[in-house]
Structure 1
Amino acid sequence: MASHSNLDFYLSPPHPCGYLPGQTATNLFANPKVAMDITRYSALARLGFRRSGRLVYRPHCPRCSACLAVRIPVDQFQPNRSQQRAWKINQDLSAICCPVEFRAEHFDLFYRYLKGRHAKGGMDNSTPEDYLSFIASGWSETSLIEFRDAKNNKLLAVAVTDTLTDGISAVYSFFDPTLKRRSLGVYIILWEINEAKRLNLPYVYLGYWIKACQKMQYKSAFRPLEVYQSKKWSIFEET
């Protein structure tokens, strides 16, 4: 057990790593019995923590440091050509901010996304209750951003975002897995960058990046990128 700012932390039991096959992982959790709020959570996000539902955690593996918390400094960000294409091709989408509540249309898209992109990843048999407990916390300033085709109002993507005191945290996003040409995952992050600028917030927090995890490589394409290492944020230099 550790302590920070009157908040206790507990290590989870070892469990199979969800990112690196064959590896064992442990997480450092903030005590869920202690009241969390957006100010406290924002301070923890600056220390590399994330949330899953109402639980706030950070990977804490004794023999592995592969999980690196990363964030985009939005005022310095420069989109590359493929990101510019993703932005342009999705200008026909409308973005609608929704409260955090269960919607069958969202869950259907979430389910199809997991089956199409993350089959056998541990979440692809999620129930509606699993889904809602994953995206909601009860204490965070969370929004569901719908991205719809403006022509036919079809739902193509949903971004789950938390508004922190110093940025936007990209909690999760899911989208139509058949629309590869649109690069919807990339577009959502670009939208979040622009939203952070609109709100005068300096960062977009992207969660964790792991060099050996192919599904996370898209994050390192957003430059400049900052990484939390050795108890400080610095510019990411991939080696």
Structure 2
Amino acid sequence: MRHTLPIAPQFYVTAPQPCPYLDGRMERKLFTALHGDNADRLNDSLSQQGFRRSQNVLYRPACAECSACMSARIDVSRFSPSKSQKRTLRRNAGLQRRATSPWATEEQYDLFRRYLDARHADGGMADMDMFEFAAMIEETPIRSRVIEYTDGETGALVGVSLTDVLDDGLSMVYSFFDPDRPQESMGTHMILDHVDIARENALPFVYLGYWVPGSRKMGYKAKFSGLDLYHGGEWHPMTSPADYVEARDTHPLSSDPIAEQVAGIQLPDRHPTRA
């Protein structure tokens, strides 16, 4: 089904399919293509309205009976690491960070495969081959970076994050790490390091993707202070995780029709006035 605003882009909605986060639920996504000269500003604008990027597509959940998936971001100015997160930083003090252009390597893919086999063997990416992995990394029409983390002693690659640079922050599109180093909490470390990168570059936010109350896969995001959630068309500081449980059950009549959701999306000016 296609829904169009007076000016491009065009928005579509997927057919219902099993939800990857909550058992027994079905999900639908609202999405649009990301291409052309306006891609960076479109990505900036829609990311600020709860959308996420996957290669050259921007998407946002559009489920009729559930509103549990909420885009989450860390407000860098309000963030303060917990005692546990400080220990994680100390444990990983010997790692080296390297930011590169979005090019896929065999070393990255080997780490990616080990990560999937250990953590997400039954997930949607489980069968991804090298060519599909390269597409995930390289098919980006916007300003993206691959942030690599290597062991300072051995030089081994231990963590990777595909990261978009937005006008108001960093968006961690997809991250993976060495599953044989659980004591280092690499996933947490990469988020903490992105907070540092954002602070160093005077960027106010680090976008983490979706947080889903009741989903064990997404529970770790609630452990970061300064977290904002996008719901009801606005960003709000996160309160207690228990306050969002009812979002998993939304009456169908309380959800706006897809056409109204599309009409409410704010698009960037395609021809901004130059100073």
TM-score range, shorter chain: over 0.9
Q: Distance in 2 between matches of 1:33 and 1:139?
A: 6
Q: Given that residues 34 and 141 in structure 2 are in contact (C-alpha distance below 8 angstroms), is that contact kept between their aligned partners in structure 1?
A: no
Q: Given that residues 28 and 59 in structure 1 are in contact (C-alpha distance below 8 angstroms), is that contact kept between their aligned partners in structure 2?
A: yes
Aligned partner of 1:65 in structure 2 is 67
- Once the two structures are superposed, what CA deviation does each residue of 1:147-195 show, in whole Å capped at 9, x if it has no partner? 1111110111111110000000011111010101000000000000000
Q: Distance in 2 between matches of 1:120 and 1:226?
A: 30
2:141 is the counterpart of 1:139? yes
2:104 is the counterpart of 1:113? no
> How large is the Cα RMSD of the aligned pairs?
1.5
Aligned partner of 2:187 in structure 1 is 185
Q: What is the correspondence of 1:18-167 to structure 2 with a 5 Å cutoff?
A: 18-31=20-33, 36-167=38-169
Q: Which has the higher helix share?
A: 2
SS of the residue 1:121 aligns to: coil
Q: Displacement, 1:32?
A: 5.1
Aligned partner of 2:259 in structure 1 is none
Q: 1:4 to 1:142 in 2, by over 3 A?
A: farther
TM-score, with structure 1 as normaliser? 0.95
Q: Given that residues 104 and 138 in structure 2 are in contact (C-alpha distance below 8 angstroms), is that contact kept between their aligned partners in structure 1?
A: no
Q: Distance in 2 between matches of 1:13 and 1:193?
A: 36
Q: Given that residues 34 and 43 in structure 2 are in contact (C-alpha distance below 8 angstroms), is that contact kept between their aligned partners in structure 1?
A: no
Q: Displacement, 1:35?
A: 5.8
Aligned length, in residue pairs: 239
Identity of aligned pairs, percent? 36
Q: Given that residues 11 and 28 in structure 1 are in contact (C-alpha distance below 8 angstroms), is that contact kept between their aligned partners in structure 2?
A: yes
Q: Distance in 1 between matches of 2:126 and 2:38?
A: 29
SS of the residue 2:133 aligns to: helix
Q: Distance in 2 between matches of 1:8 and 1:81?
A: 46
Q: Given that residues 14 and 29 in structure 2 are in contact (C-alpha distance below 8 angstroms), is that contact kept between their aligned partners in structure 1?
A: yes
Q: Given that residues 49 and 56 in structure 1 are in contact (C-alpha distance below 8 angstroms), is that contact kept between their aligned partners in structure 2?
A: yes
TM-score, with structure 2 as normaliser? 0.83
Q: Displacement, 1:24?
A: 1.1
5+ residue gaps, structure 1: none
Structure exhibiting the larger radius of gyration computed from Cα positions: 2
